[in-house]
Amino acid sequence: MADYDLTPRIAPNLDRHLVFPLLEFLQERELYPDEQILKSKIELLNKTNMVDYAMDIHKSLYHTEDVPQDMVERRAEVVARLKSLEDAAAPLVAFLQNPAAVQELRADRQYNLQMLNERYQNFSSPMNQVQSRIWLMHWSLFIYFNHDNGRTDLIDLFYFDKYLNAIQTNAPHLLRYLATAFIVNKRKRNQFKEFIKVIQQEQHSFKDPITEFLACVYVNYDFDGAQKKMKECEEVSPLGQSGWVLAEKLNLNYEEAERWIVNLIRNSKLDAKIDSKTGTVIMEPNYPNVYEQLIHHTKAIASRTENLVKQVVDHAQPQATR
């Protein structure tokens, strides 16, 4: 379903070569015309060093073995550029490959950053660190959704304070993947309850069938709405995997669904009971009062402010010692 396609939001946070698996997936699902996908690939490749790949796609799109002269010239430039970059990076590579030199690194992160910056101009500002975390999370999706224990590892990374703050600040669409990981994971029940609060907080900035499904089940206790969202979830397939993982996990028969609801009530400590005769679940909603919501949001603001201040101070200290 093109309406829920996150490719335009994810792509700016990926290296260009990592966007190609997403375009391949869109092409396989036929969400867009094939010609449009091929043209997008060429446009993407024109600003990369993947000239040989661009040539192959050009031949496929225009059904010819000839390639434009500018591609041939671009290939020569890329080869020359690669050689110059290898020469420029040689001192840092040599340092990292030298066991004696690596011993100079300490447990003090600020010392290491200052030392590497003075030698190799490798210092990263606080804002760059936040952006680096966002890039890392986007890149890691390709690994976590193709590894047996990947969803657990994804939660460990994404739910770490600094990374969760980065998601809430600049990349709320990553909540889709974190929500999927929580749903199919049985080991993170304690964190899952807190994550539902995050879903509530961020509904104004991002929501899709997966996050709305969680809100229906755990916040509104709206099982009819959850069923509708479940059907929409089958159309939402981030990276081609988490959507069908979710659908496969929750596509249950009556008895399995009843057991799933019983476990949901037990694990979440909800005020609810099941009426087996009518096949219904009777819920008693527990809405937080205004004061609790205000305190919770204030704590979140204080935590983010503290992290930003710490980053600014950490950045200023190395400069003050010079």
Per-residue pLDDT, 265: 59
At 307, is the pLDDT very low, low, confident or very high (cuts 50, 70, 90)? confident
Rounded distance between C-alpha atoms, residue 322 and residue 312, angstroms: 17
Per-residue pLDDT, 157: 92
Could you tell me the two tokens for 196?
A: 């539902």
Rounded distance between C-alpha atoms, residue 171 and residue 175, angstroms: 8
Q: What is the mean pLDDT of residues 127-138?
A: 86
Identify which of 267, 252, 256 has the alpha carbon closest to the alpha carbon of residue 188: 267
Check residues 315 and 279 and name the one with the higher pLDDT. Answer: 315
Beta bridge partners of 195: none
Indicate whether 248 pLDDT > 60: no
Indicate whether 155 pLDDT > 90: yes
Q: What is the mean pLDDT of residues 155-167?
A: 90
Indicate whether 178 pLDDT > 90: yes
Beta bridge partners of 272: 283
Identify which of 11, 301, 3, 296 has the alpha carbon closest to the alpha carbon of residue 168: 301
Per-residue pLDDT, 282: 61
Indicate whether 175 pLDDT > 90: yes
Indicate whether 11 pLDDT > 70: yes
At 237, is the pLDDT very low, low, confident or very high (cuts 50, 70, 90)? low
Per-residue pLDDT, 112: 76
Could you tell me the two tokens for 259?
A: 């057991």
Q: What is the mean pLDDT of residues 239-258?
A: 50
Check residues 42 and 137 and name the one with the higher pLDDT. Answer: 137
pLDDT digits (tens, 9 = 90+) for 110-123: 777 777 777 766 55
pTM above 0.75, yes or no: no
Identify which of 61, 62, 2, 57 has the alpha carbon closest to the alpha carbon of residue 32: 2
Rounded distance between C-alpha atoms, residue 304 and residue 279, angstroms: 45
What letter represents residue 295's amino acid?
Answer: I
Per-residue pLDDT, 245: 46
Per-residue pLDDT, 242: 44
- Match 């011993």 to its residue by tokens: 103
Beta bridge partners of 274: 281
Indicate whether 231 pLDDT > 80: no
Lowest average pLDDT, out of 171-185, 195-209, 260-274, goes to: 260-274
pLDDT digits (tens, 9 = 90+) for 259-292: 666 666 566 555 566 666 665 556 555 555 666 6
The dihedrals phi and psi of 280, each to the nearest 5 degrees, come to -125, 160
Identify which of 51, 304, 272, 276 has the alpha carbon closest to the alpha carbon of residue 170: 304
| Exposure on the CB side of residue 140, measured as CA atoms within 13 A | 20
Rounded distance between C-alpha atoms, residue 198 and residue 137, angstroms: 18
Percent of the chain with pLDDT over 90: 9
| Exposure on the CB side of residue 250, measured as CA atoms within 13 A | 26
pLDDT digits (tens, 9 = 90+) for 80-131: 888 888 887 788 788 888 888 888 878 777 777 777 777 766 556 677 788 8
Check residues 194 and 282 and name the one with the higher pLDDT. Answer: 194
Beta bridge partners of 281: 274
